[in-house]
Structure 1
Amino acid sequence: MLGSLRLAVLRFALAVALTLSAGVAAAHAHPHVWITATSELVYGPDGSFTGVRHTWAFDDMFSTYALQGIETKQKGVYTREDLAPLAQTNVESLKEFAFFTFAKAEGKKAKFNEPVDYYLDVKDNVLTLHFFLPLKTPMNTKEYAVEVFDPSYFIDFTFVEKEPVKLAGAPAGCAIKFDRPNDNSANAQRMSEDNFMNGDNSNYGAMFANKIAVKCP
């Protein structure tokens, strides 16, 4: 069985081969990778919603493992060029998990193309991934929703307190409603009893989704 740390690394394909004794079931019971996030909903000149620009800062432990073995000109100083192969592998691996980003408008799910303008940087020993996730078909609608979460709840997404989500180039009057995950004990207990213990982990983390709703006049 894959250990929790190795599973985390495989999910992001960060080239760290670690094997621990914990089982997959135990790993899925709670998150093992923590991401601090901000997002920007980007609009085109015609006023249509074109995609999401994400900034994901990984937890200290994951950052440390991910940076092991990367050669740099100056010890402890990582340039974008140093991290470019890691960034490419990272975003390519996210495709399998739908980039943990889900959009819907008028009752229909929207699809994304693969990320562009991606790069990694390191500040205060924290590894941060930046990328733009373009919609396959821009949305020209007054209302839509975006959710960010890991369905298996292996990865925890926590948005920053101040300005967690912004609009970039949106038409005048557009407003955001942002709801953080409701992780109270009652929900956690129900999730454990109704989903995890019954073997249904396909959408385990939906109760911990970060929900963004946009409404324009």
Structure 2
Amino acid sequence: MHLKRQAIMMASAMAATFATVGPANVHPHVFAEARLEVILSPDHQSVKALRHVWRFDDLFSSTVMMEFDKNSDLKLDDKELKEVADTVHASLAEFNYFQLVTVDGKDEAMNPPPQLMANFDNDQLIILFESEPKAPTRLAGKIDIGVYDPTFYTAIDFTEDANLQVAGLPSTCTSKVVRPNPDEALAANQKTLTDAFFNDPTGTDMSKIFATKLELNCKPEG
């Protein structure tokens, strides 16, 4: 399969442990371990940026290596790595780079990252990028931040809670990692789930209910 198509499908499953959630007939084909760091503004009153790092499984990484290693030297030089990064950047654009950012349950618009960086470490593909909210995301109410794949093709897993980080939260805020139970998530969203989700979940946007998230809860000062 050509990587351009595989990268497009990759833009559909980076959500956190989708190997074990969702309808039984849906299985991820690409796997990645993720880290996500929330960067706050200098005054610590809003979210300034999200910093993502994704480490892909050996099989997908070897596919990338074979397709982009033009001189067959079993490594990717800077030019080849840039081509990988540019391909993934373009392919993930229509999926908002798998980002989940909501404020009190409403989607928060994000600017596309200006670029992605690609590298190889221990024969595994690493993708890094940073994105910013289109408007300042004030630390108020409940803010959920994570990644999810609307097509269930790729599973991005935060293997440890420590891989979802935020530093410098004001005293009015608390943070916790939320890992939804699949059965409970389905039951809680039963009224909003349509037949389309159960017949073809890859054609809906409801996979976000299964995503592992960093949840920030912030109260007004005073």
Shorter-chain TM band: 0.7 to 0.9
Between the aligned partners of 1:103 and 1:160, the Cα distance in structure 2 is 20
Local SS of the residue matching 1:146: strand
Alignment TM-score, normalising by the size of structure 1 = 0.75
CA contact (8 A) 2:185 2:209 kept: no
CA contact (8 A) 1:176 1:215 kept: yes
Give the share of equivalent positions with the same residue, in percent.
28
Alignment TM-score, normalising by the size of structure 2 = 0.73
> What is the 5 A alignment of 1:148-187?
148-161=147-160, 163-171=162-170, 174-183=173-182
Evaluate the alpha carbon distance shift between residue 80 and residue 119 of structure 1 in structure 2; reply closer, same or farther with a 3 A threshold: farther
- Tell me how far 1:66 sits from its aligned partner: 1.1
Evaluate the alpha carbon distance shift between residue 120 and residue 181 of structure 1 in structure 2; reply closer, same or farther with a 3 A threshold: farther
2:120 is matched with 122
Between the aligned partners of 2:51 and 2:5, the Cα distance in structure 1 is 26
Aligned Cα RMSD in Å?
3.5
Q: What one-letter code is carried by the residue in structure 2 that aligns with 1:39?
A: L
Q: What one-letter code is carried by the residue in structure 2 that aligns with 1:158?
A: D
Evaluate the alpha carbon distance shift between residue 185 and residue 141 of structure 1 in structure 2; reply closer, same or farther with a 3 A threshold: closer
2:204 is matched with 202
In structure 1, runs of 5+ residues without a counterpart are 14-27
Counting matched residue pairs gives: 200
Between the aligned partners of 1:180 and 1:11, the Cα distance in structure 2 is 24
In structure 2, runs of 5+ residues without a counterpart are 12-24
2:33 is matched with 36
Evaluate the alpha carbon distance shift between residue 81 and residue 176 of structure 1 in structure 2; reply closer, same or farther with a 3 A threshold: farther
> What is the 5 A alignment of 1:63-212?
63-71=61-69, 75-116=73-114, 118-143=116-141, 144-161=143-160, 163-171=162-170, 174-183=173-182, 197-200=198-201, 201-203=203-205, 205-212=207-214
Work out whether 1:57 is the aligned partner of 2:55. Answer: yes
- For CA contacts below 8 A with separation 6 or more, give which structure has more relative contact order: 2
- Tell me how far 1:160 sits from its aligned partner: 2.6
